[in-house]
């Protein structure tokens, strides 16, 4: 098995000259868009899948974590099921499927993600439930981005936040 540090792509750092000139600041942009599956979530997913002994992994995701988990499972020879709202972007649903994962589309007006995951977990007692944010393997995997940022001498780090992980 490939260790996490060798499985991920290092963060891409961009020094935007026009933005620097316009603002009169020394700015560096750290972007994870070149990471496998297009987001930092691959770090978490690969760390989780490589550390759990289960051959089946189950999660709920609207897209990014599901894609990352599906790809990590593909790389490590494990099965993956992703519960997704039927309103998820088709490109994300297709990406999850393209990595070999089973997609379970749900109408969230009729059943909640957690409830559906619970039903599937009862049907798949050997599966590991992977939370996109509330799991130590996920937290540790995501923290590797912080390790990369800490290796630089930045005065300030501004980080966008959103839902989920």
Calculate the average pLDDT of the chain: 94
Per the structure, how many domains does the chain have?
1
129 belongs to a structural domain: yes
What is the reported pTM?
0.92
Has residue 148 been placed in a domain? no
Structural domain harbouring 134: 40-142
* Contacts of residue 156, Cβ cutoff 8 Å, sequence gap at least 6: none
DSSP string across 25-71: S---EEE-TTSGGGSTHHHHHHHHHHH---SEEEEE-SSHHHHHHHH
| Beta carbons within 8 Å of 161's beta carbon, 6+ residues apart | none
In the sheet where 56-60 sits, what is the strand order? Answer: 102-106, 79-85, 56-60, 127-129
**pLDDT tens-digit profile of 98-120?**
999 999 999 999 999 999 999 99
Residue 104 within any structural domain of the chain: yes
């Amino acid at each position: 098995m490939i260790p996490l540090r060798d499985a991920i792509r290092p963060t891409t750092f961009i020094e935007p000259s026009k933005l620097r000139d316009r603002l009169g600041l020394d700015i560096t942009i750290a972007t994870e868009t070149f990471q496998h599956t297009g987001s930092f979530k691959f770090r978490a997913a690969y760390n989780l899948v490589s550390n759990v002994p289960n051959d089946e992994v189950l999660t709920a995701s609207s897209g990014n974590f599901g894609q990352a988990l599906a790809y990590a499972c593909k790389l490590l020879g494990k099965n993956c099921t992703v519960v997704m709202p039927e309103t998820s972007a088709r490109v994300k649903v297709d990406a999850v499927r393209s990595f070999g994962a089973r997609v379970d589309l749900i109408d969230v007006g009729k059943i909640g993600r957690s409830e559906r995951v619970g039903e599937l977990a009862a049907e798949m007692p050997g599966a590991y439930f992977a939370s996109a944010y509330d799991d130590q393997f996920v937290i540790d995997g995501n923290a590797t981005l912080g390790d990369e940022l800490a290796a630089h001498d930045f005065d300030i780090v501004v980080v966008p936040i959103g839902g989920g992980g």
